[in-house]
């Protein structure tokens, strides 16, 4: 998302003008898939569907269409506000950003960003942050949390929103997303996994009157093995909502791509919740309904959001039901999905209403700021939802810090080390920590990227705050060029702070329109030169990087005086003390890179560069297939600067005594899926037109506020159309007949449950062989057997575990596992996950990094060995 106000100036376009598709490369097809499968067939949702469908059977047409749509941009306290059905006891639902905290409010926590969470490689912290996030969203009265983000996956190093997700690997991303969902939903908040799918760059993402949104052209196997993987795990964890991306896939806008929503998401992945559009991503009414969209956000038409009260749905949805175009069961299924998610999270029991207003921090304000005339009232009750969440935020910020280089054990610092500190990123933004709306600037300590995925800081504990709190002897030069008066001494330690920022497309920062166009992969504000100048004057230099992603560090990384380099990623509000704990060695660093650091952008295939302007629909063809990030570096034989998963410690670890145990025997094709359970019965009868009439004397909020009612005449005429000879031009391949069977790859949330059977349990003992306490990560990579007929990346991450803090000499045995799916490839012909060689010897590699594989367990031999040559 979202909030593309400037688009409103491009008004008066018709949807038809933007529907045109151009130049999708040969072979990429957006096939029709109809109808939208009814939800409710998964047993863990049965009770919620029972309650929801009872309610729906009692609701009027206008009540039902009211719940499927937002009431308009800025038409309520939250970034998204649905219509209500108060007679049935359903309030207007509040949907609110974002993935790292409650956006645009106060007394919230600004948690570390997703990429920072990924860098911890710590499943328990992923879950704990999810719980804390859920508590804050619930505390503010929010029904639907608009996170986590697992797409962008991070295919493009310059992509603007990679930092909102957990790293450039589907499995790391999947654990980050699924554990966040489990945490958020454990306290009754509906989580939203987003953005489905292949939403890998910011520029040209949206449909406008000038241009259709960018088309991500992805082959089926790549979609399944990379981009869909984290969504599958999110659905498996029971996520209540999925947000559709702005872009197209294979030329068809995701918000009306029937193959994507009806087939892949609802049939194959068995998604039981509801599908919402990204903000203004809906570009048709009937088309998107038939294609499986369940909720339109924020309710407006993408080209005319601020002008009138027009909507693709609301009253138009009522009309399209009355005139017989959209079948009643499609609407009923959507509303049932929305209410089932609401019941599933227990929101029918004492759920608090919103007590904040994302549009203002004043106590009082307009209730509908998007309306020209709006009643006013108390909109902010200033509820503090922080609890003790600063602790988990600090723990994540600390355990994410990734030590990339540490010559001769230069770090940790001694308490009395004399410090010269350089770079504006060491201290808070002098204009105020929240001076830029949605953090749309990069000034001072960089705790998060910009856009809808940001939150206001309640405070910023900066690195300088941290040094002060330690009474460290330091001199700070709050500038980004090298001062002439720093008076270097050989006993000084110099610490340089640098940043690289990115964000969402609706804000441009220093000529970067979301994506890192101008900044590229270099640190900002001449940081490379600052580091070189400091390294020239000082003998001992530590570089601290606050960054959204990969940077290129070749100009200075090998300088002998650059002794240590730390990535703090995007630490959130707890930037300072978390860093101090690492710098001074209270704890050993235990973060690991959630992506590969290249030596040059030439390391990458051209296809993962940003796409620029094109006449017509920009085409972004994923020709690199499975080969993104480390998968590419391995295949191309390119040695990166730092490998995926790299991260040093102040101590050392050994990996030993590994075992591998067969659990579920493999078969080349998974066991048959379970049959679909029953779904609610819906009437096919068109409701009476009177169910959509404006109630007499109804008091409208204002012209722009969207309602589901029709004028009596319009409703009656629509009802006449239903029996006339007027025919709607349904898309090719359209059918309203529910398919009795789902695809063989489906069967439960996330797919065929047999895919998630554990094939092998692996255990490994990690021993701290150094002299300081520390935590280690065991990363498990799978190498497919040789000689199979599928080209597969050399190694692929499939699981990981982090140890507790181990004292010197202490050991811990970690348990890992690989599932059937982990050992399968997506076969496009049979449309199923198949094990390419059941008896083949899979290499199960365990290491502390993708380039430091310590041992190999073989599935055929059933044994593990430490002295095997690494395949990469």
Active site amino acids: 278
Q: Which of 18, 30, 283, 455 binds ligand NAG (CB under 6 A)?
A: 30
Residue among 269, 340, 142, 363 nearest 750 (CA) = 269
546 binds ligand NAG (CB under 6 A): no
User: Residue 71 CB, nearest distance to ligand NAG (Å)?
Assistant: 6
458 binds ligand NAG (CB under 6 A): no
| Residue nearer to ligand NAG on the CB measure, 74 or 842 | 74
User: Residue 56 CB, nearest distance to ligand NAG (Å)?
Assistant: 9
92 binds ligand NAG (CB under 6 A): yes
Helical H segments across 8-161, by residue range: 15-19, 46-57, 61-67, 114-120, 123-139
Q: Tokens 């359903």 label which residue?
A: 90
226 binds ligand NAG (CB under 6 A): no
CA distance 343 to 345: 5
Q: Kind and range of the H or E element at 145?
A: strand 144-145
CB 73 within 8 A of CB 298: yes
84 binds ligand NAG (CB under 6 A): yes
Residue among 450, 428, 550, 440 nearest 113 (CA) = 450
CA angle 845, 777, 550 (to 5 degrees): 90
Q: Which of 124, 386, 652, 659 binds ligand NAG (CB under 6 A)?
A: 652
32 binds ligand NAG (CB under 6 A): no
CA distance 783 to 855: 12
320 binds ligand NAG (CB under 6 A): yes
**Near ligand NAG by CB under 6 A, which window of 111-119, 130-138, 412-420, 819-827?**
412-420
CA distance 680 to 575: 50
Q: Which of 52, 171, 286, 764 binds ligand NAG (CB under 6 A)?
A: 286
684 binds ligand NAG (CB under 6 A): no
Q: Which of 3, 53, 66, 201 binds ligand NAG (CB under 6 A)?
A: 66
**Near ligand NAG by CB under 6 A, which window of 51-59, 297-305, 536-544, 844-852?**
51-59
- Beta strand pairing status for 777-783 and 796-802? antiparallel
Q: Which of 34, 259, 274, 781 binds ligand NAG (CB under 6 A)?
A: 259
Length of the chain: 872
| Residue nearer to ligand NAG on the CB measure, 42 or 260 | 260
301 binds ligand NAG (CB under 6 A): no
Q: Which of 770, 793, 843, 858 binds ligand NAG (CB under 6 A)?
A: 770
Per rule CB under 6 A, count of chain residues that contact ligand NAG: 43
Rounded to the nearest 5°, which phi and psi values hold at 543? -110, 130
| Residue nearer to ligand NAG on the CB measure, 66 or 486 | 66
Site for ligand NAG in 353-392 (CB under 6 A): none
347 binds ligand NAG (CB under 6 A): no
745 binds ligand NAG (CB under 6 A): no
CA distance 455 to 8: 25
| Residue nearer to ligand NAG on the CB measure, 213 or 458 | 213
Sheet with 653-662: strands ordered across: 653-662, 758-768, 811-819
User: Residue 854 CB, nearest distance to ligand NAG (Å)?
Assistant: 13
| Residue nearer to ligand NAG on the CB measure, 501 or 848 | 848
CA distance 506 to 7: 10
316 binds ligand NAG (CB under 6 A): yes
325 binds ligand NAG (CB under 6 A): yes
User: Residue 478 CB, nearest distance to ligand NAG (Å)?
Assistant: 23
220 binds ligand NAG (CB under 6 A): yes
- Eight-state DSSP code of residue 770: S
Verify cis geometry, omega within 30 degrees of 0, for the bond prior to 289: no
| Residue nearer to ligand NAG on the CB measure, 63 or 501 | 63
| Residue nearer to ligand NAG on the CB measure, 588 or 603 | 588
Verify cis geometry, omega within 30 degrees of 0, for the bond prior to 740: no
495 binds ligand NAG (CB under 6 A): no
Q: Kind and range of the H or E element at 173?
A: helix 170-186
| Residue nearer to ligand NAG on the CB measure, 456 or 646 | 646
Q: Distances from the Cα of 768 to the Cαs of 410, 585, 655, 659, 867, in angstroms?
A: 19, 16, 9, 19, 20
CA distance 444 to 423: 9
Q: Which of 83, 148, 513, 618 binds ligand NAG (CB under 6 A)?
A: 83
Q: Kind and range of the H or E element at 276?
A: strand 274-277
CB 825 within 8 A of CB 808: no
Please enumerate in sequence order all residues whose Cβ is within 8 A of that of 326, keeping only pairs 6 or more positions apart, or say none.
286, 289, 290, 317, 320
CB 449 within 8 A of CB 163: yes
327 binds ligand NAG (CB under 6 A): no
CA distance 814 to 837: 28
Q: Which of 12, 350, 388, 416 binds ligand NAG (CB under 6 A)?
A: 416
User: Residue 416 CB, nearest distance to ligand NAG (Å)?
Assistant: 4
User: Residue 413 CB, nearest distance to ligand NAG (Å)?
Assistant: 9
849 binds ligand NAG (CB under 6 A): no
| Residue nearer to ligand NAG on the CB measure, 627 or 650 | 650
| Residue nearer to ligand NAG on the CB measure, 90 or 448 | 90
Reduced to 3 states (helix: H, G, I; strand: E, B; else coil), residue 400 is: helix
CA end-to-end span of the chain: 38
CA distance 170 to 361: 38
Rounded to the nearest 5°, which phi and psi values hold at 509? -120, 125
350 φ/ψ sector (left φ>0, alpha ψ -120 to 50, else beta): left
578 binds ligand NAG (CB under 6 A): no
User: Residue 539 CB, nearest distance to ligand NAG (Å)?
Assistant: 13
CB 145 within 8 A of CB 187: no
- Eight-state DSSP code of residue 756: G
| Residue nearer to ligand NAG on the CB measure, 264 or 778 | 264
821 binds ligand NAG (CB under 6 A): no
| Residue nearer to ligand NAG on the CB measure, 399 or 504 | 399
* Radius of gyration, alpha carbons of the chain: 27
219 binds ligand NAG (CB under 6 A): yes
| Residue nearer to ligand NAG on the CB measure, 450 or 709 | 709
Q: Which of 721, 801, 827, 848 binds ligand NAG (CB under 6 A)?
A: 721
251 binds ligand NAG (CB under 6 A): no
For residues 413-424, b (16+ Cβ closer than 10 Å) or e, as one string? beeebebbbbbb
584 binds ligand NAG (CB under 6 A): no
28 binds ligand NAG (CB under 6 A): yes
**Near ligand NAG by CB under 6 A, which window of 62-70, 200-208, 520-528, 543-551?**
62-70
29 binds ligand NAG (CB under 6 A): yes
Please state at what angle helix 229-236 crosses helix 170-186, rounded to 10 degrees: 20
Q: Which residues bind ligand NAG (CB under 6 A)?
A: 27-31, 54-55, 58, 62-63, 66, 71, 83-85, 92, 219-220, 249-250, 259-260, 285-286, 316, 319-320, 323, 325, 409, 414, 416-418, 491, 650-652, 708, 721, 726, 728, 770
């Amino acid at each position: 998302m979202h909030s593309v106000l400037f688009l409103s100036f491009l008004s008066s376009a018709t949807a038809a003008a933007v529907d045109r598709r151009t130049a999708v490369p040969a072979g990429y097809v957006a096939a029709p898939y109809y109808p939208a499968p009814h939800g409710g067939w998964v047993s863990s949702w049965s009770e919620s569907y029972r309650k929801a469908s009872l309610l729906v059977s009692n609701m009027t047409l206008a009540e039902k269409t009211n719940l499927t749509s937002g009431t308009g941009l800025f038409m309520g306290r939250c970034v998204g506000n649905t219509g209500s059905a108060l007679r049935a006891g359903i309030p207007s639902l509040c949907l609110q950003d974002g993935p790292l905290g409650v956006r645009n409010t106060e007394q919230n926590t600004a948690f570390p960003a997703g990429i920072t969470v990924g860098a911890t490689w710590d499943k328990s912290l992923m879950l704990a942050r999810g719980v804390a996030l859920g508590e804050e969203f619930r505390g503010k009265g929010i029904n639907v949390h608009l996170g986590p983000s697992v797409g962008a996956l991070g295919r493009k190093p310059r992509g603007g929103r990679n930092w909102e997700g957990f790293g450039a690997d589907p499995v790391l991303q999947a654990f980050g997303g699924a554990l966040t969902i489990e945490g958020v939903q454990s306290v009754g908040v509906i989580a939203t996994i987003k953005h489905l799918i292949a939403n890998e760059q910011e520029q040209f993402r949206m449909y406008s009157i000038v241009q259709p949104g960018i088309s991500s052209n992805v082959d089926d196997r790549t979609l399944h093995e990379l981009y869909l993987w984290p969504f599958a795990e999110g659905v498996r964890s029971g996520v209540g909502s999925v947000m559709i991306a702005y872009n197209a896939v294979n030329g068809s806008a995701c918000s009306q791509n029937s193959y994507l929503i009806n087939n892949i998401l609802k049939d194959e992945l068995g998604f039981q919740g509801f599908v919402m559009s990204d903000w203004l991503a809906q570009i048709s009414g009937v088309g998107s309904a038939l294609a499986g969209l369940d909720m339109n956000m924020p309710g407006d038409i993408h080209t005319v959001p601020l002008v009138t009260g027009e909507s693709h749905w609301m009253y138009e949805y009522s009309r399209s039901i009355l005139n017989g175009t959209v079948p009643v069961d499609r609407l009923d299924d959507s509303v049932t999905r929305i209410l089932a998610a609401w019941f599933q999270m227990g929101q029918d029991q004492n759920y608090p209403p919103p007590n904040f207003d994302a549009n203002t921090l004043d106590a009082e304000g307009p209730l509908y700021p998007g309306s020209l005339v709006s009643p006013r009232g108390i909109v902010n009750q200033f509820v503090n939802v922080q609890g003790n969440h600063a602790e988990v935020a600090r723990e994540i910020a600390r355990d994410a810090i990734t030590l990339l280089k540490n010559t001769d054990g230069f770090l940790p610092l001694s308490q009395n080390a004399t410090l010269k500190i350089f770079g504006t990123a060491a201290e808070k933004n002098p204009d105020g920590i929240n001076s830029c709306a949605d953090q749309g600037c990069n000034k001072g300590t960089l705790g998060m990227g910009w856009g809808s995925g940001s939150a206001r800081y309640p405070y910023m504990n900066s690195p300088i705050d941290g040094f002060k709190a330690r009474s460290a002897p330091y001199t700070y030069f709050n500038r980004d060029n090298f001062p002439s008066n720093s008076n270097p001494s050989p006993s000084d330690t110099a610490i340089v702070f640098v940043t690289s920022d990115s964000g969402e497309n609706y804000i441009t920062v220093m000529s970067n329109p979301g994506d890192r166009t101008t900044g590229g992969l270099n640190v900002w504000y001449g940081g490379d030169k600052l580091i070189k100048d400091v390294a020239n004057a000082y003998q001992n230099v530590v570089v601290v990087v606050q960054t959204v992603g990969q940077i290129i560090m070749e100009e200075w990384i090998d300088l002998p005086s650059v002794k240590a380099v730390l990535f703090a990623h995007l630490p959130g509000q707890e930037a300072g003390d978390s860093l101090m704990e690492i710098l001074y060695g209270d704890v050993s660093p235990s973060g690991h890179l959630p992506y590969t650091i290249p030596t040059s952008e030439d390391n990458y295939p051209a296809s993962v560069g940003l796409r620029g302007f094109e006449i017509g629909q920009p085409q972004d063809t994923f020709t690199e297939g499975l080969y993104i990030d480390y998968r590419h570096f391995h295949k191309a034989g390119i040695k990166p600067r730092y490998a995926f998963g790299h991260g040093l410690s102040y101590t050392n670890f050994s990996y030993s005594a590994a075992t591998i145990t067969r659990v579920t025997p493999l078969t080349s094709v998974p066991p048959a899926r379970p049959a679909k359970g029953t779904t609610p019965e819906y009437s096919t009868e068109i409701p009476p037109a009177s169910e959509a009439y404006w109630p007499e004397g109804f008091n409208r909020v204002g012209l722009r506020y969207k309602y589901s009612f029709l004028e009596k005449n319009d409703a009656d005429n629509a009802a006449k159309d239903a029996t006339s000879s007027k025919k709607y031009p349904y898309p090719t391949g359209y059918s309203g007949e529910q398919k009795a069977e789902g695809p063989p790859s489906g069967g439960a949330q996330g797919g065929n449950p047999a895919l998630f059977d554990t094939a092998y349990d692996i255990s490994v003992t990690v021993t701290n062989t150094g002299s300081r306490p520390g935590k280690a990560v065991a990363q498990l990579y799978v190498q497919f057997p040789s000689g199979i007929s599928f080209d597969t990346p050399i190694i692929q991450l499939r699981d990981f575990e982090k140890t507790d803090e181990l004292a010197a000499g202490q050991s811990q045995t970690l348990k890992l596992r690989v599932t059937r799916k982990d050992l399968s490839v997506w076969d496009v012909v049979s449309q199923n996950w198949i094990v390419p060689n059941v008896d083949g010897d899979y290499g199960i590699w365990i290491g502390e990094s993708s380039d430091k594989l310590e041992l190999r367990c073989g599935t055929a031999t059933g044994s593990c060995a430490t002295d095997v040559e690494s395949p990469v």
